[in-house]
Structure 1
Amino acid sequence: MSVLYLVRHGQASFGTEDYDRLSPRGREQSQALGSALMQAGASPVRIVTGAMLRQRQTAQGILEAAGWTTPACVDPRWDEFNATELIGACPADDPQARTDSRAFQRLLEKASARWASGEHDGDYRETYSAFTSRVDAALISALDGLASGQSALVVSSSGAIAWAAARLLDGGFPQWLALNRVTVNSGVTKIVSGSSGQTMVTFNDHAHLPHSWITYR
């Protein structure tokens, strides 16, 4: 069987003018994961990252700490959905959501339900259906051509990884929302692929992090 590691990016800069960059903690999380993967003997033949800066910076931190020389390639299909657009299209806003992570999560989930309903597709540049379809295609591409015993690593974001997991569990929007809610920065979801198809064997593993380094936003 082959193995795919789906990694959520490290902590980004929530509450600042530029969210799409790693915080100092996010850099530490990515380096801790790289060290843990190296110590576990992981040696991916393919490394993929979404196009977002926080994803690319996480991949860089992992590579540096692990000492891997395999170059990372960019596949924008692993980019996160546009949370700003979803919230902007939601009729009820909450000013606290700009700086309070819990208020942000409540508003995001309400906005996500509106997005996923399919009743307001004209309000979005990317519909929920288009988002899930591109993640499905990215997952197939990441696994394509891996020989038995080989592994690949993808750095993405919570929404994309949660959808890949929900798909493998034959779930839909409720499953996706529940998984998206609990993803940890730099958490690892492990998928094995063989003759019988793909199976998720771990979700959101973050044993490489000290307790005080665990973040969700």
Structure 2
Amino acid sequence: MSTLTVVRHAQGRTFQDEPDRLSDTGEMQARALGDYWEKRGIKFDEAWSGSLQRHRQTAGLALHQPFEISEDWNEYDAVGILRHGPPASSFPDNRAFQKMFEPAMLNWLEGSVDGAEPWPVFRDRVLRGLRRIQDGPPGRRVVVFTSGGPIGVLVQTALNAPDQSFLEVNWRVRNCSLTEFVFSKGRLSLDSFNALPHLSSPSLQTFR
């Protein structure tokens, strides 16, 4: 069996001019993760990152080794899902944004949103990235830097849960958290979810 550690990107500059860059807090979160791994001698046989800047920036700050980039690990098309609603920048805070975004996400799951990557296509894309990892040799330690959406897909797949459970998981994944699986070819089992052993300060424990 091999192990897969999936890291949600650190906090981004939400609703600011550069939403795909990490905030100052996000940079601290990613560096803390790197320090945690280094102190414990944790190294990975294989490392992956989504292609979004927040993925690559988190990986670059946390890892002390090269990593491969794959769009399979990118987030769902939030802009496309919200295309017919008000822009994200018009909401005063994340709570107000989430209240509006949840119904839009349900519509997306049901296939009633045009102009965005469909839910089945997104899910299959993430699972394609997973299969690429599963097809490698056994006994590896692998890490992936991604977003809450792909983490939700992996948890849903491991638990064989219904589609709507993806949304429930997606909203609970904290910035720079660790979700761990054990896997082999064709098999994926959840070992731990949403852990923050590297972030002891409450000020560094964020959702958005």
Instruction: Tell me whether the two structures share a fold, i.e. TM-score over 0.5.
Output: yes
1:184 maps onto 2:174 in alignment? yes
Assess if the C-alpha contact under 8 Å between 1:96 and 1:103 holds in 2: no
Amino acid at match of 1:197: R
Give the corresponding residue for 2:147: 157
Shift of 1:147: 2.5
Give me the whole-angstrom Cα distance separating, in 2, the residues matched to 1:99 and 1:157. Answer: 23
SS of the residue 1:55 aligns to: helix
Task: Indicate the RMSD between aligned Cα atoms, in angstroms.
Answer: 1.8
Mapping of residues 92-103 of structure 1, within 5 Å: 93=86, 98-103=91-96
Aligned to 2:60, what secondary structure does the other structure show? helix
- Alignment partners' CA distance in 1, 2:88 and 2:61: 34
CA distance in 1, matches of 2:68, 2:186: 28
Residue aligning to 2:122: 131
Using the TM superposition, give the Cα deviation of residue 111 of structure 1 relative to its aligned residue in structure 2, in angstroms: 0.8
CA displacement at 1:196 relative to structure 2: 8.2
Residue 169 of structure 2 aligns to a residue whose secondary structure is: helix
Asked if the contact 1:10–1:186 (Cα under 8 Å) also holds between the matched residues in 2, the reply is yes
| Conserved? CA contact 1:49–1:78, under 8 Å | yes
1:167 to 146, 157, 171: 157
Paired AA for residue 118 in structure 1: G
Change (3 A) 1:32 1:146: farther
Give the Cα–Cα distance (whole angstroms) in 2 for the partners of residues 152 and 216 of structure 1.
24
TM-score of the superposition, structure 1-length normalised? 0.89
Cα 1:96–1:72 shift into 2, 3 Å: closer
TM-score, reference length from structure 2? 0.92
Gaps of 5+ in 2: none
- Identity, % of aligned pairs? 30
C-alpha distance 128-207 of structure 1, shift in aligned 2 (>3 A): same
8 Å CA contact retained: 1:32, 1:208? yes
SS across alignment from 1:172 = coil
Structure 2 counterpart of 1:75: 70
Q: Using a 3 Å threshold, how does the CA distance of structure 1 residues 56 and 82 change in structure 2: closer, same or farther?
A: same
Distance 2:165 2:147 in 1: 16
SS at match of 1:154: strand
Cα pair distance change 1:95/1:76, threshold 3 Å: closer
- 8 Å CA contact 1:4–1:191 kept in 2: the answer is yes
The structure-2 alpha-carbon separation of the partners of 1:95 and 1:14, relative to structure 1 and needing over 3 Å to count, comes to closer
Letter in 2 for 1:72: F
Assess, with a 3 A threshold, how the Cα gap between structure 1 residues 129 and 28 changes in structure 2: closer, same or farther: same
The DSSP-based 3-state class of the residue aligned with 2:82 is helix
